[in-house]
Amino acid sequence: MTKRNSDTGKRETMTDKEIHSREAPIVQKQAEEALARSEALLNEVQEVSRVGGWEYDIQTRHLTWTDEVYRIHELPPDYDPNDIANDIHFYLRDDQARIEEAFDRAVTVGESYDLELQFMTAKGNHRWVRTMGRPELKDGHPTRVVGNITDITDRKQAEEALRESEENFRHFLDDSPLGVRIVTAEGETMYANRAILDIYGFSSLEELRTTPVEKRYTSESYIEFKKRYERRQQGEDSPSEYEVNVVRKNGEVRHLLVSRKGQLWNGKKQYQLLYRDITERKQAEDKLQVAQLQWSQFLEASPDPMWIKDPSGRYVAASKTYFHVDPSAEGNIIGKTDAECFPPEKAAVYVADDRVAIETGASEGEFTAVGDDGKLRTFLTKKVVLRAPDGSVAGTLGVSRDITDRKQAEEALLQARDDWESTFDALTDMVTIHDKNFNIVRANSSARRMLQLPLSGNLTNAKCFMCYHGTEKPPEGCPSCRSLVTEQPCSSEFFEPHLNRHLEIRAIPRFDTHHQCIGLVHVVRDITERKQAEEETQRERAFFDQLVETAPEGIAIADTQGRIMRVNAEFVRMFGYGVDEVVGQCLDDLVAPPARQEEARALTRSTVQGGKNLLETVRCRKDGTLVDVSLIGASILVAGKPEALYAIYRDITERKQAEAQLRQSQKIEAIGTLAGGVAHDFNNLLTGILGNIALMRGSLPPADPLLENLAAAETAARQAADLTKGLLTFSRRAMVSAVPLDMAEAVDTTLTILKQSLPATMDIIRDVEQPAWTVLLDRSQLTQILLNLAVNARDAMKGKGTLTIRTRNVTIDTAYVHEHFYARTGEFIHLSVTDTGPGMSSEVMQHLFEPFYTTKPIGSGTGLGLSVVYGAVKQADGWITAVSTEGVGTTFDIYLPRCLEEPMHSFTPSPLSVNVHGGTVLVVEDEPVVRTVTQALLSRSGYTVLTALDGASALNVLRDHPVGIGLILLDMTMPGMTTSEIVRAIRALDPTAPILLNSGYTSNGAVKQMLEENSVQGFLGKPYDLDQLLGKVQELLHRS
């Protein structure tokens, strides 16, 4: 090793001292020569290897470089390297810290280093160097550091180029569409590009390595893989190219074509595998196979004859149906031309058609042939040219279709179109066809006439709303607008003033073949007459409904089976059912009581057969009560056939009751008339009896024993008189004096008398409303009414119980009168008498007011009590009713009309003194006994008596005695002339003479009227005694 002395620049060997001490000059010379040769050799080696050496003495801090070091740094030989800091600055900035730290550690701690660094030479050239330093230690401490520096620029550049080449290759592999994988002989993957990872769906090489092989293949491909691997392990050849099916990470199967090639890599046998994804190709091949199969099957199954020819015109394929079209084809045509298969003229036509198809791309034509059925049929043949991918002609494809049916259908369609045109124009409805803008594109004859459109030719500027409505836009609620929006048929009815017609409009959307709405079919029907008919029907229906619903009769309409279809309000009210309860029910089962079921069914049968039935019968309400009805049943005929039936029910319960009451009233009136006549005759007889008794008593001495007999006869006569008086009261022929009475005062006065007549064991309850209204009534009659009712109650209760006498001021309205025919509206005093007796049966109630009818034992009553009450109430212009429930008691209700006059208080008239002054009395009497007795009584009393047996005789007497007659005693019931006629005739002859009427049977109204008119001055009822006769005669004579 040599060094350069920085002071002298001379070279010397490192072992000079040893040589000088040991060797002789010759040896020294030999050594120097050897050394020189060694140095020269070393320098050559360093220059060739580009390795320079250096040495650093730690103690002296002296640095020595070899010549190569200067060359590497491109420094001159006189450069002093001992400035370490300056030496370090030759290194690039990033490497300066590394070399400085490594050199410092070698000097301080004796740590060797070996670094590859970059630096810039003195001439500015960039180089790579490898610098190494090795400390030498003495006693464990470094004394010097020796090292070398090698120019590795070329190597680094080569490495960089290799790295870039490898990087480019890697990028090439990674960007390759082919999958690339390098595996060891043991199957371990050393490299895989992105394409192979994408094929498997893996994200990294590690995921590929860790996924078991059996999961990367389908089961079939995995078996093939194992077979290939086993053959390679056994040294056998395996295919260098094969197909596999791999399973991606997501389970998808891909088809791959694999190419395998062995190679050495780092001295080891490895395999390079290239993967091509042929999935799409395999799928295309599969589709092609399927398509070929389908095409073959299509040819076999095609109902239309089909064939394919090559460019030379030879048949390469044909369907079985081909020979159905052209039976003249000779045998199998495959591989033959038309000239070889068909007659010349036919072959020429086929060849010409092929030429047209090749030249123009397609040809089409029709021809006729005899089909399998022996009939002439029409075929449509189409031919198209087949071209190869390069555009050259690959052949022709031909297909024929039997269009016989289509041709016939087209002809039928043309006929149908003509028929449709005829029908369209023949429609009475107005039919127009619109586009979406409401333009009328077509209209039938009816529409053209109504809308005044041209009867032929195309329509222009014809908007439907202008034609139909005379407006600039569709009206509100237009069905055409709705139909265009909803694409559904729409319709409406309205009156169109523009046409003055009722129209029914229906809009039906029109669609093209893509189901796009292209307009409307607009159908308009003139329904004016129908509307008028409907309105008339509605009016008739409304009238019918109003008539049915407001009818006072219950009406039911049923079908021919008797099931109810409709009932009116009165039916509901009459029978108590709701409408929902009766509709659908059998009419007979619903309202006919069990005892009338057969009658009802027979009536229904007769009605359905066309009969009309009218009868009075009984029907049953919902609550089970019976109702008397007048029933009309008839069938409803439609076109002469019975379609339904109706039943009209009139509730005649009140009428039946009224009829019964009328019959009862008529019976009582008849009895009253009879009783009155009997009473009249009795009273005349009694008048004669009592008069004769009076005459006999006057002619006998006071002690005569016959007087006792006369008294007994008089008593019997007076009892008979009372009996006739009751009969007259019942018949309302009794003479009464009605005065305004305060009802409360009158009842109280009568109760005072009643309490004396009734036993103490009876409780009497007075319930009189205050203030009580006034009634016009004879006071004695009120006493008779209450006394008779009280006595009847006493007998019914056997002297024990409660008698309630109650009065109320009431106003009778029309509703009450509607339910009680005998009543009338107005203000009334309601007098009721109620007992707590055993009540009466319905049988007794039917004869309640009949004279002489009694339930008492024989000899216990006359049967005239209630008859007297009835007659008195009737004579007072009122009415009486009775309500009785067996086991509960009886209530008599009496209604007496209110009198608006002030009540007259009771008074006792002072008796007139009988002071006979004499005078002339004319007795007019048709009964001889009465006339004779009256004449005798008056004569004995000092009066001059003239007699007449009838009215005419009386007038003759008056004419014979124009003066002197002071009183006329006139009987009211005589033959010849009526009482009024006699009175008027008497007044014509003598206006001043008092007239005293007398009768045993008369009309109270007639007497009252004559008394009020003062045409007569008094009344004396028969029978009368001497005192009554003389009192009345004296009173009138005294007045006159």
User: Which residues, in sequence order, are bridge partners of residue 263?
Assistant: 270
pLDDT, residue 469, reads 83
Q: What angle do CA 176, 177, 180 make, to 5 degrees?
A: 65
Name the domain boundary from 863, 886, 907.
Answer: 907
866 and 849 Cβ atoms separated by less than 8 Å:
yes
**Residue 288 corresponds to which tokens in the numbers above?**
């092609």
896 lies in the same domain as 923: no
Q: In a 3-state reduction of DSSP, which class is residue 358? A: helix
User: Which residues, in sequence order, are bridge partners of residue 385?
Assistant: 396
1024 lies in the same domain as 950: yes
The dihedral region occupied by 251, where left means phi > 0, alpha psi between -120 and 50, and beta the remainder, is: left
Residue 205 belongs to some domain of the structure: yes
314 and 301 Cβ atoms separated by less than 8 Å:
no
142 lies in the same domain as 220: no
78 lies in the same domain as 127: yes
1008 lies in the same domain as 952: yes
**Residue 296 corresponds to which tokens in the numbers above?**
């073959």
848 lies in the same domain as 745: yes
Residue 816 belongs to some domain of the structure: yes
Map tokens 């005695």 to a residue: 961
Cα–Cα distance, 809 to 559 (Å, whole number): 53
Residue 329 belongs to some domain of the structure: yes
Map tokens 């020569």 to a residue: 33
Q: At 178, phi and psi to the nearest 5?
A: -85, 145
Residue 746 belongs to some domain of the structure: yes
Task: Give the residue ranges of DSSP H helices in 361-497.
Answer: 404-426, 445-451, 464-469, 479-486
Cα–Cα distance, 318 to 340 (Å, whole number): 16
520 and 483 Cβ atoms separated by less than 8 Å:
yes
Cα–Cα distance, 955 to 952 (Å, whole number): 5
Note the pTM of the prediction, 2 decimals: 0.36
45 lies in the same domain as 191: no
Residue 713 belongs to some domain of the structure: no
**Residue 115 corresponds to which tokens in the numbers above?**
């670094």
Cα–Cα distance, 878 to 829 (Å, whole number): 10
220 and 214 Cβ atoms separated by less than 8 Å:
no
Name the domain boundary from 907, 937, 962.
Answer: 907
326 lies in the same domain as 242: no
516 lies in the same domain as 606: no
Residue 662 belongs to some domain of the structure: no
Strands 626-638 and 739-742 come out as: unpaired
For 68-120, the pLDDT digits (tens) are: 899 989 999 888 888 877 888 889 988 888 998 999 999 999 999 999 999 89
pLDDT, residue 605, reads 87
Cα–Cα distance, 147 to 135 (Å, whole number): 9
- Angle, to 10 degrees, between the axis of helix 928-940 and the axis of helix 1026-1039? 70
Cα–Cα distance, 772 to 779 (Å, whole number): 16
Name the domain boundary from 636, 651, 666.
Answer: 651
Please identify every stretch of the chain with a pLDDT value under 50, giving residue numbers as ranges.
Answer: 1-15, 17-20, 730, 732, 859, 907-916
CB atoms within 10 A of CB 754: 21
Strands 141-151 and 126-138 come out as: antiparallel
pLDDT, residue 827, reads 95
Cα–Cα distance, 678 to 1022 (Å, whole number): 13
740 lies in the same domain as 883: yes
130 lies in the same domain as 189: no
User: Which residues, in sequence order, are bridge partners of residue 644?
Assistant: 559, 636
For 745-791, the pLDDT digits (tens) are: 888 888 887 787 788 888 999 999 988 899 988 777 787 788 888 88
Amino acid (one-letter) located at 291: A
Domain count, the chain: 7
Full residue range of the structural domain in which residue 374 is found: 307-404
Residue 299 belongs to some domain of the structure: no
Residue 296 belongs to some domain of the structure: no
> Which candidate, 398, 358, 395, places its Cα nearest to that of 382?
398
CATH code for position 182:
3.30.450.20
899 lies in the same domain as 925: no
Strands 889-899 and 943-948 come out as: unpaired
pLDDT, residue 9, reads 41
Q: Which residues have a Cβ under 8 Å from the Cβ of 398 and sit 6 or more positions away? A: 306, 307, 308, 309, 381, 382, 383
> Which candidate, 204, 215, 283, places its Cα nearest to that of 248?
215
3-state SS of 926-972 is: CCHHHHHHHHHHHHHCCEEEEEECCHHHHHHHHHHCCCCEEEEEEEC
What's the half-sphere exposure (Cβ side, CA atoms, 13 Å) at 1025? 13
